[in-house]
């Protein structure tokens, strides 16, 4: 019989960067007792996003961060700058990387590949409390 | 007992830009009578995409539009230009922003954050009739 | 009564480019016998991604590939280059395009639009064996 479970995960960020939460998400999935299903992660913000990326080499995280700094610079004459120069770039970086992710759960394991980790991508300079909604449907 | 519902949403666009449809999607979810589940939105086009973005400041929409105009310019020597100079940039912008989105429904509410709205991102100059498939599974 | 099915799809790539697998995914969906539901595709790698794009004009694929070569060049002074100059660009291109996609199944048909095809986007130069997890929940 199929069923569903949901949870709000709270993550504290300390400024721009990638924060891994693979362990927290996996632990919650295990607690539901389901072995087959679909896990959804949803970031409830417009200035932080979700990313599945390589979790082995720390240099990958630095190169990713640098790429997005260059692609969406803080100084670009944005019309919207109510909350400072990192505000509008944060919205654009969120648009480019997305706030919704799904991972199948098969045979008791999330289908993340060997090198894939789950990350919250904080795009603001200041520390923030971020909420990621978790939803699992399956059996 | 879990069940599912689906619907085709038709949106008329008047050229390039972000068209919010949070209200239409929320109304349909309410009509299904479900309180817990997973909402999927799927844009059936390769030159328009879906975006969850800040819904308070109109300047955000203008800055987002300008960023994508600069990142993917119309004049860039594309090989594919059967339908005009805005054709290939539309495909690329769709690839960068995506056509599929999921939002958990928990306790009777879509998990959109306070500042998050649902947008269709039209990438063509001419008005178009766009279709977004809605699917909800839950209880 | 709702149920679910899952499958690992293996795709062989021959270097950088877009590899269509609409037919393989559709065939598997048909084999499950379901007519209404939600199909999830998940790419288990951090240097290959999933894309829904125009499947009619081959020039679109070439323009897309060229755009990403220009946007994320191989020579950009990346710190992470353990596996060669195409390694870090592959991670960035994967971050920009994503590894997770969902398509509603309604009335026996995947809701892909007339011009939409499913693609694996290989970002490495060398041939690779890639795994895409398929998950379908519905009836």
**C95 has a pLDDT exceeding 90:** yes
Averaged pLDDT, C72-87: 93
* Percentage of chain A exceeding pLDDT 70: 100
Both structure tokens of B27: 């109304």
pLDDT at C118: 98
> How far apart are the CA of B95 and the nearest CA of chain A, in angstroms?
10
> How far apart are the CA of B39 and the nearest CA of chain C, in angstroms?
10
Averaged pLDDT, C111-128: 98
Q: Which chains touch B (3 or more CB pairs under 8 A)?
A: A, C
**Is B80 within 8 Å of chain C by CB?**
yes
pLDDT at B21: 98
> What is the complex's ipTM, to 2 decimals?
0.97
pLDDT one-digit tens code per residue, A28-78: 999 999 999 999 999 999 999 999 999 988 999 999 999 999 999 999 999
Contacts of A52 in chain B (CB under 8 A): none
CATH code of residue B84:
2.60.120.460
Of residues C72, C76, C74, the one with CA closest to residue C92: C72
Please tell me the pTM assigned to this model.
0.98
pLDDT at B36: 98
pLDDT at C70: 97
Distances B85 to A8, B77, B78, C114 between C-alpha atoms, Å: 44, 9, 8, 21
Contacts of C3 in chain A (CB under 8 A): 2
* Crossing angle of the two packed helices B87-97 and A87-97, in degrees rounded to 10: 90
Residues near B124 by Cβ (< 8 Å), separated by ≥ 6?
B13, B15, B16, B47, B48, B86, B87, B90
> How far apart are the CA of A102 and the nearest CA of chain C, in angstroms?
6
pLDDT at C20: 97
**B82 has a pLDDT exceeding 90:** no
Q: How far is CA C34 from the centre of its chain?
A: 22
Q: The tokens 């904080």 sit on which residue?
A: A122
Of residues A84, A124, A123, A98, the one with CA closest to residue B116: A98
CB pairs under 8 A between A and C: 85
**Domain hosting residue B116, numbered range:** 3-138
Q: How confident is the model at residue C82 (pLDDT cuts 50, 70, 90)?
A: confident
Backbone phi, then psi, for C21, in 5-degree steps? -135, 30
Contacts of A92 in chain B (CB under 8 A): 63-64, 67
**Is C38 within 8 Å of chain A by CB?**
yes
- Number of domains chain B is built from: 1
- Find the CB nearest B57 among A4, A38, A80: A80
> How far apart are the CA of C55 and the nearest CA of chain A, in angstroms?
23
Q: How far is CA B50 from the centre of its chain?
A: 2
Of residues B11, B106, B116, the one with CA closest to residue B57: B116
- Find the CB nearest A62 among C8, C79, C135: C79
Q: How far is CA A79 from the centre of its chain?
A: 27
> How far apart are the CA of B127 and the nearest CA of chain C, in angstroms?
18
pLDDT at B79: 95
Q: Which residues pair with C103 in a beta bridge?
A: C39
B42 and C111 in contact by Cβ < 8 A? yes
**Is A106 within 8 Å of chain B by CB?**
no
Contact A38, A57 (CB under 8 A): no
pLDDT one-digit tens code per residue, C24-67: 999 999 999 999 999 999 999 999 999 999 998 899 999 999 99
The CA distance from C97 to A99, in Å, is 13
Contact A110, A26 (CB under 8 A): yes
**A82 has a pLDDT exceeding 90:** no
C2 and B2 in contact by Cβ < 8 A? yes
Find the helix or strand (DSSP H, E) in which C22 lies: helix C22-32
Q: How large is the C-alpha radius of gyration of chain C?
A: 16
**Is C132 within 8 Å of chain A by CB?**
no
Alpha helices in chain B (DSSP H): 22-32, 58-71, 87-97
pLDDT one-digit tens code per residue, B14-28: 999 999 999 999 999
Of residues C43, C39, C32, the one with CA closest to residue C9: C43
Distances C123 to A51, C14, C47 between C-alpha atoms, Å: 17, 10, 6
pLDDT one-digit tens code per residue, B42-72: 999 999 999 999 998 899 999 999 999 999 9
Residues near B88 by Cβ (< 8 Å), separated by ≥ 6?
B76, B78, B79, B80, B81, C60, C63
- Find the CB nearest B4 among C36, C97, C102: C36
Taking the CB of residue B70, how many other CB atoms lie within 10 A of it? 9
Averaged pLDDT, B112-138: 98
pLDDT at B70: 97
**C99 has a pLDDT exceeding 90:** yes
The per-residue pLDDT of chain C, averaged, comes to 97
A16 SS3 class: coil
């Amino acid at each position: 019989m199929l069923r569903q479970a949901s949870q709000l995960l709270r993550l504290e960020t300390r400024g721009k960067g990638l924060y891994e939460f693979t362990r927290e998400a996996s632990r919650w999935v295990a607690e539901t007792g389901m072995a087959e299903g679909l896990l959804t992660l949803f970031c409830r913000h417009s200035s932080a996003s979700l990313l599945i990326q390589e979790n082995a080499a720390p240099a990958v995280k630095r190169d990713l961060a640098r790429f997005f700094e260059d692609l969406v610079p803080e100084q670009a004459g944005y019309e919207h700058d109510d909350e400072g120069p990192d505000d509008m770039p944060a919205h654009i970086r969120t648009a480019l990387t997305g706030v919704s992710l799904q991972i199948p759960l098969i045979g008791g394991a999330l289908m993340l590949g060997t090198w894939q980790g789950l990350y919250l991508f904080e795009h603001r300079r200041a520390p923030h409390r971020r909420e990621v909604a978790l939803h699992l449907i399956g059996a």
